[in-house]
Homo-oligomer: A and B are copies of this chain.
Amino acid sequence: MKSAQPTLAQLAGLLGAELRLAPGASEAQVPSGLNTLQDADVGEVSFLASANYRRFLKNTRACAVLVTSESAEDCPVSALIVSNPYHAFARATAIYQTAPQYAPGIAPSADVHPDAEVHESVHIGPGVVIEADVKVAEDAVIGANSFVGAGSEIGARSRLFPSVTVYHGCYIGADCTVHSNTVIGADGFGFAPHDNKWIKIHQLGGVEIADEVEIGACSCIDRGALGNTVIGRGVKIDNMVQIAHNVQVGDYSAMAACSAVAGSATIGKHCTIAGGVGIVGHVSVADFSHVTARTLVTKSIEESGSYSSGTPFSDSRSWRRNAVRFGQLDQMSRKLRELERKLEHKLHTKGSGSDDI
């Protein structure tokens, strides 16, 4: 399933690197893969992307290392000189990636509706279900046992890993990746209270996912109540992320695992939302904001910056002592003001000794 791997010289060409061969090395060598400086086996390529790892350079067994020109002289093996070794490493991972590639064709056990438009270059895996009026564009890959509901669209070169569910009326752009067991387009959580019961608000909108979006495993992006839930271009979403109805996520923002956004919230462009963050409904988060792990955002963030909530962790015994005081904070604050007042009074009465209570 893999194309032939490149020689060192070819790799240099692919990464725009200058190849400085170590004595006795050959540009015709075919590296076997990528690895860290400390773990690389003979034959693997490595990279030096941070000063923290420089100490591993001297003894690396890698056959070549992606380095800056400044670090090249310390490289004991062949150097692949680039301006930004981390970016070059990221691009190199695409060359050495191991995910199986699939040939065009529809598996016999797939169930593709005759009214679906599936480009002939598309791969449809076993057990896949494609409903009526679905469009799947060129070179898309729909993994085994995935489902694409009526009228939905999957853009060119997009890949659904196995068991992805896309409900009806959802749009996924080009060059997207969706990992397994993620659900796109399930109903938003909408119920009107009535006589202590709930009336279902059927969710009439859809989901619109722009190009170059990646979504991890077991995540949910709900369809809009009225109008669409929208994920911008180049957004990266990790595993177990919950995006409620009518949320909008701006271009190139990233959301780490277990973060959750409630209904109709708007996240700006280029935001980084760390793991476990919660964002309540109807608020907005300014472009280029960063929210740290596990923060609960309870009102709009108007200005770009870094935002946090929560308490530090400690041994449980100390924590318990402090946590119980949290429940007395308002009282403590009042006592403090009272003391200030008393002391101030005392000082101003210049030691007169009168009891000021």
Cβ of A118 to closest chain B Cβ, rounded Å: 16
Within 8 A of B (CB), among A310-357: 310-330, 332-333, 335-336, 339-340, 342-343, 346-348, 350-357
Residue from the list B144, B163, B310, B347 in contact with A111, Cβ < 8 A:
B144
B150 lies within 8 A of A147 (CB): no
For this chain, the copies found in one complex come to 3
Within 8 A of B (CB), among A160-192: 161-163, 165, 167-169, 177, 179-183, 186-187, 189, 191-192
Bound-complex Cα distance A168 to B98 (A): 8
A326 lies within 8 A of B327 (CB): no
Residue from the list B36, B240, B262 in contact with A227, Cβ < 8 A:
B36
Bound-complex Cα distance A109 to B108 (A): 10
Is A202 engaged at the interface, CB distance under 8 Å to the other chain? yes
Bound-complex Cα distance A324 to B315 (A): 14
Cβ of A23 to closest chain B Cβ, rounded Å: 27
- Size of the A side of the interface (Cβ < 8 Å), in residues, is 143
Bound-complex Cα distance A126 to B342 (A): 78
Main secondary structure of the interface of A (DSSP, over half): loop
Is A14 engaged at the interface, CB distance under 8 Å to the other chain? no
Is A127 engaged at the interface, CB distance under 8 Å to the other chain? yes
> Which residue of chain B has the shortest Cβ distance to A306 in the bound complex?
B316
Cβ of A14 to closest chain B Cβ, rounded Å: 14
Sample 21 A-B pairs with CB under 8 A, ordered by A number. A34-B204, A39-B226, A90-B191, A94-B200, A97-B204, A98-B202, A109-B127, A111-B126, A147-B162, A147-B163, A147-B180, A181-B182, A189-B236, A189-B257, A197-B252, A220-B257, A240-B260, A242-B258, A280-B293, A306-B316, A324-B330
Per CB-CB distance, the 7 closest pairs between chain A and chain B, nearest first, are A351-B353, A350-B353, A309-B313, A97-B202, A93-B202, A325-B329, A306-B316
